[in-house]
Amino acid sequence: MEAEYYSSSELGFDKSDISQDSFEIIQNLKSHGYDGLLVGGCVRDLTLGLKPKDFDVVTDALPHQICKIFPRSRIIGRRFKIVHVRQQGQRYMDYIEVTTYRADPESPGSWVSKILPKSRNKRKVFQGENIYGTREEDVMRRDFTINSLYYDPVEERVIDYLGGIQDIQQQQLRMIGNPRQRFLEDPARIIRAIRFKAKLGFDFEHGMEEEIQQHTAWVEGLNSSRFYDEVVKFFNQGAAEESWDQIFETPLGEMLFSHMASDRRSNNSDQFTGFIRQALRNTDRRVREGLPVIDSFFIAVVFWSEYKKSLLRYMGKGLREHDAHDSAVSDCLVKRPQLLIIPFRVCDIVHEIWRMQAMLERRDKRDIRPIMANRRFRAAYDFLVLRSTVGEVDPTCVKWWTEIQEVDSMERKSMITQLPNPKPRSKRRRRKNRSVRQHARLHATQPQDMM
């Protein structure tokens, strides 16, 4: 396989644009006689003039050999082993992924295909194995040509086997191999294709869009946690609003957010649609400014209208606000039939964001300090501000919460004191169970002096 080489300077970047940690890892691998390159999305983004989020290293060293070179590392994964290398002085969560070149056991040229009989299921035989290979074999396992680029920061050159640089220049999203076959092998590629189109503004190669429209249902076979991780990436890459539109250009939109699909079909630009769009724009702005975004906030936004309807329904049945809230959260995030299964850690945060909305609006002086001490307060406050932009919340309420975060402790105490005195809270009457009530009635009818 012939490769084309480009100097990074002619593509508009150099090694100063990559993380120092990844550069040191590559240098260390090379000093021990191994290959070491950056690969995938980080090289693509550098070529496009974007700032990569992650820097992934690939090498011909095996996982146990990598761990010998880097004592502060650990092997993760079972089917596909990856080494997380942590540099000296960094926190545990700050690591670089280092992966060994792999071969596809089912590709015609693979050494695995030569030793296994054709009638055997190679995927099943090697389900728990890691099939390592050469760089030329590794590149054929990647999804899109724009993600198949390798960068050597020591030599300062990009290695292109499949025309990825040309596709970037032509703004084309091209699959490595037949799109239908590659989507069938890994349906997550359907989600990635839609995401890259939204993020980069590239056009699909001829025939890819038709394959996505016809076979989006294949994503239902993905592992639920992996599916969730792929979907939330739509909304943390700086193109959340465009991603929202692209999702609904395919069957994926209705599969994920069926409660929104009818509104979009009827071009209904109601208050809730504006609420979602404002949240997406705010998310994109935060990403551009380098501020953190959390997936739980987006989940809270998208299912807010469903939550409100469910909350009103339960309160109409006579449930107390607290119990109605718990039931509504369960209906919206846990019990509803859904393709997008939301992790419990996310449900817990959304539960708190929604629960605190009524408390923030009431401004009961007894609750102010506990609310502000709550670790979800800032997210709940941001949600309150977002609701005010579409007229759901009185602007004076938002202004008050904004000011109380900015003043000193004495002024804060004064602001709380000036709030109107709250209504007395009704004491909860302990409800006796049936046997207790029956026992009480029986005791009342018996003579008191039995002796």
From 121, 143, 166, give the residue that closes a domain. Answer: 166
In 172-291, where do the E strands start and end? 172-173, 203-204
Q: Does residue 133 sit within a domain?
A: yes
Q: Give the CATH number, domain containing residue 70.
A: 3.30.460.10
Residues recognised as catalytic: 54, 56, 143
In 116-254, where do the E strands start and end? 150-152, 157-160, 172-173, 203-204
The DSSP bridge partners found for residue 100 are 59
Give, in order, the Cα–Cα distances in Å from 58 to each of 40, 266, 286.
Answer: 10, 48, 31
List the domain range (segments joined by +) for residue 354. 296-417
> pTM of the predicted model, to two decimals?
0.81
The DSSP bridge partners found for residue 38 are 57, 151
Q: Does residue 254 sit within a domain?
A: no
DSSP structure class, residue 102: B
Given this model, what pLDDT does residue 403 score? 95
CB within 8 Å of 377: residues ≥ 6 apart: 356, 371
Longest Cα–Cα distance in the chain: 107
10-residue stretch averages of pLDDT, the chain, 451 residues long: 92 92 94 96 94 92 93 84 78 78 65 42 44 92 95 96 96 95 93 94 94 94 91 91 92 86 57 85 91 91 92 93 93 82 93 96 93 95 94 94 94 92 63 40 38 34
* CA atoms within a 13 Å half-sphere pointing along the CA-CB vector of 164: 32
Given this model, what pLDDT does residue 261 score? 63
Domain count, the chain: 2
Given this model, what pLDDT does residue 271 score? 66
Place of tokens 């296994």: 116
Q: Does residue 241 sit within a domain?
A: no
User: Could you tell me where the DSSP H helices lie in 248-394?
Assistant: 252-256, 258-265, 271-288, 295-302, 304-316, 321-329, 344-362, 368-373, 377-389
The DSSP bridge partners found for residue 99 are 58
Whether 160 and 305 share a structural domain: no
Q: Does residue 351 sit within a domain?
A: yes
From 129, 146, 166, give the residue that closes a domain. Answer: 166
Per-position b or e across 92-130, b if 16+ CB within 10 A of its CB:
eeebbbbbbbbbbbebeebebeeebeeeeebeeeeeeeb
From 166, 191, 216, give the residue that closes a domain. Answer: 166
Given this model, what pLDDT does residue 232 score? 92
The DSSP bridge partners found for residue 175 are 144
Q: Give the CATH number, domain containing residue 410.
A: 1.10.3090.10
